[in-house]
Chain A
Amino acid sequence: MKRQAKFAVVAIMFTVLAMLAGAGRLKADDGKGGGPAVDVKIDNFSFTPQTITVAAGTTVTWTNRDDIPHTVVSNDGVFKSKVRDTDEKFTYTFTKAGTYDYFCSVHPKMTGKVIVQ
């Protein structure tokens, strides 16, 4: 029973996280055996979802779906991807709570936000 309850708590936590992440897809595992993972699409010169809210320890993966290269660069220099061409990815694991504003340094009108709780 105890184990089931634990699972229920975890399941609820994941559901909440998924809701917080909006359209961001939640995966149980980031492939590195670490914490939860969330995807952000780069499409049509925008980050989707533009704002995500995740738990500390979450790995976020950005995938460029455009025909044009983009970057993922935090405004205050916390993370900075190399240029990402079509279908290339950038991942970053957020360990500290806080609000992380980021943009594409090639097309600075493209902005996004990660809120880490």
Chain B
Amino acid sequence: MTDRKSGFIDQKLQDLNRDGIDRRGFLECMAWVGTGLIWTVSGGIPVSRAFAKTHEQTVNKGAELTFAQISDSHMGFNKPANPDVAATLQAAVAKINGLATPPEFLLHTGDISHLSKPEQFDNVDQILKSASAKDVFFVPGEHDVLDDDGKSYLERYGKNAQGAGWYSFDKKGVHFIGLVNVMNLKSGGLGSLGHEQLEWMEKDVKHLKSSTPIVVFAHIPLWSVYPEWGWGTEDSAQALAYLKKFGSVTVLNGHIHQTMQKVEGNVTFHTAMSTAFPQPAPGKADSPGPMKVPAEQLRSVLGISDVNYVRGTHSLAVVDSSLG
């Protein structure tokens, strides 16, 4: 199911067989780093491409819905890993605008700002205004809800949201659910959705037909990427239990500043790259702090390798390719 033209890699992220939602047993993941992802939903099957691999001729003309995911812009971060995160966010927007099939909207999976400061949110909003896609759907990262329990985030981005900022919407038959898992974190714990949000989610999906493609997006991964670094969500299993009846579930997260993928039964998990700075692979450094690379290599490190899920092989194909 992998299309490859002139070095492009499309990634079929969903198992088309739908041969039972309990099928488990393969979960392999691999990281790549880059600037953003473009998502296409065709026949209910989300497909992603790394921005860097997307060229004019790779347009999926049969796509019913195309959207782009950006994450972890960390506006306000100015340390050596990337002293100019505005420039790299602008580069990500330029990539979006260069896509042959313009995405209908953007998802931002959190850590919009570095320190929840109004001018940092302003700066991101300003840069995103230059995106061809005008609608941007946000969920907060932990950096967006510092000090004020998310009040300023909600005032800015939560007008149509419930609780701490969760909401759902439909686009061309696809049901999108934006979740918040960065509030009220407990000592020693992981990301948390909380009882109130889970209850809302159960009701939100109850009336949907099982054939409805579901896209869930939240900041911290909704699967256990690396609990030692807090890369997981303690009550995500409950959220996923509500989605068991659906044939196609795609979970999009950020937070870990690198791409990882896991397919389990009917659910495909995917984490996006940051537009600001890379983070180390799980356990490959003393801490998950920013991974420093020489300035001239920053953008070439953003986009080192791609991962393809090839249907039927039960493994992920990894293709290394530098952007620069």
Question: Is the CB of A106 closer than 8 A to any CB of chain B?
Answer: yes
Q: Could you tell me if A69 and B79 are in contact, using CB atoms closer than 8 angstroms? A: no
Tell me the interface secondary structure of chain B in the complex: loop
Interface of A is mostly: loop
* Contact-residue bracket for chain A: 20 to 34
* Contact status of A45 and B289, CB under 8 A, knowing A108-B186, A108-B189: yes
**Distance, CA A48 to CA B230, complexed state (A):** 19
In the assembled complex, B146 has its CB within 8 A of some CB on chain A: yes
Knowing A44-B287, A85-B115 touch, does A75 contact B143 (C-beta < 8 A)?
no
Residues of B within 8 A of A82 (CB): 147
Contacts of A105 in B (CB 8 A): 185
CB of B142 within 8 A of CB of A106, answer yes
CB contacts (< 8 Å) of B288 on chain A: these are 45
The winner among A86, A103, A106, A109 for most chain B CB atoms within 10 A is A109
Which single residue of chain B is at the shortest CB-CB distance from A75? B187
- Cβ of A111 within 8 Å of any chain B Cβ, yes or no, is yes
CB distance from B295 to the nearest CB of A (A): 15
Nearest-neighbour CB distance to chain A for B107, whole angstroms, equals: 22
Across the interface, name the chain B residue whose C-beta is closest to A66: B289
Q: Which 10 A-B pairs have the closest CB atoms?
A: A103-B187, A45-B287, A44-B287, A83-B146, A108-B185, A109-B230, A67-B79, A44-B286, A108-B189, A75-B187
Q: Which residues of A contact B (CB under 8 A)?
A: 44-46, 66-69, 71, 75, 82-83, 85-86, 101-103, 105-109, 111
